[in-house]
Amino acid sequence: MQSTRNLASDVITFSHEPVLLNEVLETLDIKPGSSVVDCTMGGAGHSIAMIEKILPRGSFIGIDQDPIAIETAKTRITNYLTDLRHGSGFQFYNENFRNIDQIFEKYKLRKVDAILADIGVSSHQIDTPERGFSYMQEAPLDMRMSDKSKKRALHLVNELPEKTLYEIIKNYGEEKHAKSIARNIVTSRPIADSTLVLAQICINSVPSSYYKTGGHPAKRTFQALRIYLNNELDALEEFIPRAIEVLKTGGRLAIISFHSLEDRIVKQAFKKLESSCLCPPKTPKCICGHKARIKILTKKPIIPTNEEIKRNPRSSSAKLRVIEKIV
């Protein structure tokens, strides 16, 4: 983030509408005294609801790589509780959720009953122009979720080869016109440090009929650059087995995803962890030694109701998958 940012004002304005809130609380089966983790705190909407369920003796661990999210969560939870130090059960870590096992080891944390991960960009990150996530407002081409990263989206569009940009936009954005967008990005260099300049390049790279079926022409490109810059899919793949390690037997993990790339990773990872054998289909006898570690509780993902989508349109693509650790 830029050094001129005002952290205090960002904390005050950080907004978050928790998606699938009732469904998360129900499927995680959180009870008074439970130990819970919110791996992607955002504006603390899910966090506070989870804390309500675990009081008076439960413990809560909050994780987010965004320093503003952590400060926001502390402020809101402090305002919600009469004493943040209630039984010493509340801890916060400004870390990437992919490192959950390292966090538990470093701080000597005990295994927990429930873990939630709400994947992707938050409403606040989109709605804060200077973060550079939005293609609808003028801002620097940033898109970083953590200020620990030095590279910005500006570096990607000005430095990466055309072939690499094409692969990023095609694979992470699932964009049909990735080739023309990548080509026009390269021919437009040097690209100004402006989200609207990049958005206009995307608009100029697709047919006029694009709006009828694909939404805004810059949407998928911005998504792709953000995912690549923040290494989001690798982080998700690494997180899932590590989260299982820090769950108690009988503990539950819930993951909310917002696009098919994320949901596919979650679905495949859960399927592998639930399988009692990973040998090729025609192997006459199991030789892999793999054992099932989880039970999938959501054979099909839970999606928002029409009422929730009407209230919070950004929830429309959300999918919730939940597992229970069996060993």
Question: Would you place residue 1 in the very low, low, confident or very high pLDDT band (cuts 50, 70, 90)?
Answer: very low
150-229 shares the fold of 7-123+232-325: no
Where are the extended beta strands (E) located within the chain? Answer: 35-38, 59-63, 90-93, 112-118, 247-257, 294-296, 319-325
CATH homologous superfamily of 7-123+232-325: Vaccinia Virus protein VP39 (3.40.50.150)
Give residue-wise pLDDT tens across range 226-265.
999 999 999 999 999 999 999 999 999 999 999 999 999 9
What sign has the CA pseudo-torsion 154, 70, 259, 293?
Answer: positive
| DSSP states along 215-264 | SSTTHHHHHHHHHHHTTHHHHHHHHHHHHHHTEEEEEEEEEEE-SHHHHH
What value does the mean pLDDT take over residues 106-127?
Answer: 88
Q: Is the CATH code 3.40.50.300 the one for domain 150-229? A: no
**How far is Cα 43 from Cα 75, in angstroms, rounded to an integer?**
10
Per-residue pLDDT, 75: 87
Residue 84 has pLDDT above 70, yes or no: no
Per-residue pLDDT, 289: 79
Paired tokens of 69: 């999210």
Per-residue pLDDT, 275: 92
Question: Would you place residue 86 in the very low, low, confident or very high pLDDT band (cuts 50, 70, 90)?
Answer: low
CB 120 within 8 A of CB 89: no
Closest of 258, 233, 277, 235 to residue 321, by C-alpha: 258
Paired tokens of 322: 């939940």
- Kindly list the domain boundaries of the chain, sorted by start residue: 7-123+232-325, 150-229
Residue 191 has pLDDT above 50, yes or no: yes
Radius of gyration for the chain, computed over Cα atoms and rounded to the nearest angstrom: 21
Question: Would you place residue 73 in the very low, low, confident or very high pLDDT band (cuts 50, 70, 90)?
Answer: confident
**How far is Cα 134 from Cα 178, in angstroms, rounded to an integer?**
19
